Structure 1
């Protein structure tokens, strides 16, 4: 089955992904040794299955190397810096239930305003 025929979130084999980006499979295996962020699922016989986030990372690595002229070392540094920057940025995600409390308070205020 060709990659275009798969659902967006479907796992990709190493062959499908290699064909999609136009690189041989051994290059993807090499990238796995150089980029710790790239960890596809492995099954019996070391068959690799790339998740959606792995596919996005492979496409990004390929784009940086092929189109933007980065070296392997440069891409490693860039990805490490990005990971560090995202870890330093405080999460804007509210605590569980915080959104519900805000909605409740907004509705309570609206009811109060209607009564006045």
Structure 2
């Protein structure tokens, strides 16, 4: 059930529905729902009726997971390990308390590299 709302585009910091994320990334909605069960880092905000709203950081994480799985050939388990290791190594937190800003920087850096690679191949 998809409906389009005409008007001005959303601000870059706006929350996105699962349909909007699906359209922006080219990933089916069921894949996004599956990833939520496999990657604890991917937790969109849920509202009434279990509607999902993805924050900009969630969308960036979806893009990172997609790049690792589909472009770099990682398995789901491999991506889980990469995400866990990057959260621990970049935070320097031996106590298991992740630093959200370090994780976001890692996602931003990965996306920057991916976009640069796309520009080089175009």
Matched, 1:10 2:14: yes
Q: Name stretches of at least 5 consecutive residues in structure 1 with no aligned partner.
A: 92-116
Q: 2:44 aligns with which of 34, 40, 51?
A: 40
Give 1:68 shift. Answer: 0.8
Q: 1:50 aligns with which of 29, 47, 54?
A: 54
Number of residues paired by the alignment? 89
For residues 27 and 37 of structure 2, what CA distance do their matches in structure 1 show? 16
Superposed CA RMSD: 1.9
Q: Name stretches of at least 5 consecutive residues in structure 2 with no aligned partner.
A: 94-98, 100-122
Matched, 1:27 2:31: yes
TM-score by length of 1: 0.71
For residues 36 and 8 of structure 1, what CA distance do their matches in structure 2 show? 24
Query: Quick check: which has more Rg, 1 or 2?
Result: 1
Structure 1 moving runs of 4+ over 3 Å: none
